[in-house]
Amino acid sequence: MTIKVYISGICGSQEIRKQQQRVVFILQGLQVELQIIDVTDPGKDEDLTFMQEEAKKHGKKTQLPPQIFNENEYCGVCSD
């Protein structure tokens, strides 16, 4: 089981940056197998589209990082 965390390496919001760091630190502290996907990296357009579409399917008003998945199963955002 790999937990995927979709983040943005280029982030103008300090709050979003803090949320991304918090999610990653908590999962690393729990020694969870973790894959971090930066949707702002070149060639990650498909990952960005996947993240946004899955968030929309689950009724999220905003599709901003961080978004958390268990493999390809949507788990939620930082506040979830």
51-76 tens-digit pLDDT: 999 999 999 887 899 999 999 999 99
- Structural domain boundaries enclosing 60: 8-77
Parallel, antiparallel, or unpaired for β 3-7 and 34-38? parallel
Percent of the chain, pLDDT > 90? Answer: 81
Place of tokens 């949320």: 19
Would 2 be classed as within a structural domain? no
Q: Write the burial class of residue 25 (CB in 10 Å: 0-12 exposed, 13-18 middle, 19+ buried).
A: exposed
- Start-to-end Cα distance in the chain: 19
Would 15 be classed as within a structural domain? yes
Cα radius of gyration rounded to whole Å, the chain: 12
Would 43 be classed as within a structural domain? yes
pTM of the model: 0.92
**Residue 75 gets which letter from DSSP?**
E
Provide the number of structural domains found in the chain: 1
